[in-house]
Chains A and B, each alone.
Chain A
Amino acid sequence: QKEVEQDPGPLSVPEGAIVSLNCTYSNSAFQYFMWYRQYSRKGPELLMYTYSSGNKEDGRFTAQVDKSSKYISLFIRDSQPSDSATYLCAMGNTGGFKTIFGAGTRLFVKA
């Protein structure tokens, strides 16, 4: 079993839709949870960073962490074609911040 599971998609939605991206994980020691956006042939860009459980909102993006279920989500409201990218969940624990990534979900937002 992989430490982090993420559906690779692709996920195709119309412009303006609400997008839900999810990851599950197996290591209960993870405390830091991140979402990265990666455009083709570019390095990942940090979108959201959450410590422990709870919700965090930043503009059109909302990250949720449910440690009891070992489940994290990223919601994108009013999705735009420019949101088309691969979204990677990532997580880590204290002491060096070794990050484990999900496989990434390829998102297409159609105009």
Chain B
Amino acid sequence: GAVVSQHPSRVICKSGTSVKIECRSLDFQATTMFWYRQFPKQSLMLMATSNEGSKATYEQGVEKDKFLINHASLTLSTLTVTSAHPEDSSFYICSAVSDKTEAFFGQGTRLTVV
């Protein structure tokens, strides 16, 4: 299957700082990328849909000013958690959709805010 690389895999940051997570499709172009959040023992919750060259569409309850998404190219989307707080600690996962409409997931980023 296609490869989606997510970086970093693990990050610890201080409360109040910002963290950027990258999601790259390595061997295909992804016009659409999705960002999910997963709390322990819970399912993936869609945060936002990112389309190349346009503003992201956020799900209800997700603060767009806190979770900044940029999809500048067909192979890269970034999620920036701004002014992080301990309650933002979670597992963040991206997925990218190929032209065959299959979604491939990154390996996830475990964010811990201390």
A residues with CB within 8 A of B: 6, 8, 32, 34, 36, 41-46, 49, 88, 92, 94, 96-104
Contacts and interface: CB of A to CB of B under 8 A. Distances in A.
A14 B36 CA distance: 33
Contact of B32 (A32, A36, A97): A97
Contacts of A34: 103
Contacts of B43: 6, 88, 101-104
Given A88-B43, A101-B44, A46 B1 contact: yes
Contacts of B106: 43
Q: Size band of the B side of the interface?
A: 20 to 34
Contacts of A97: 32, 97, 101, 103
Given A96-B32, A101-B43, A43 B102 contact: no
A48 to B, nearest CB: 11
Nearest to B45: A101
A78 B45 CA distance: 32
Main secondary structure of the interface of B (DSSP, over half): strand
A43 B10 CA distance: 12
Interface of B: 1, 6, 32, 34, 36, 41-46, 49, 51, 91, 93, 95, 97, 101-108, 110
B102 A44 contact: no
Which of B95, B97, B103, B107 is most buried by chain A, counting CB atoms within 10 A of its CB?
A: B103
Nearest to A32: B101
B93 A99 contact: no
A102 B44 CA distance: 8
A99 B45 CA distance: 10
Contacts of B110: 41
Contact of A103 (B42, B93, B97, B101): B42
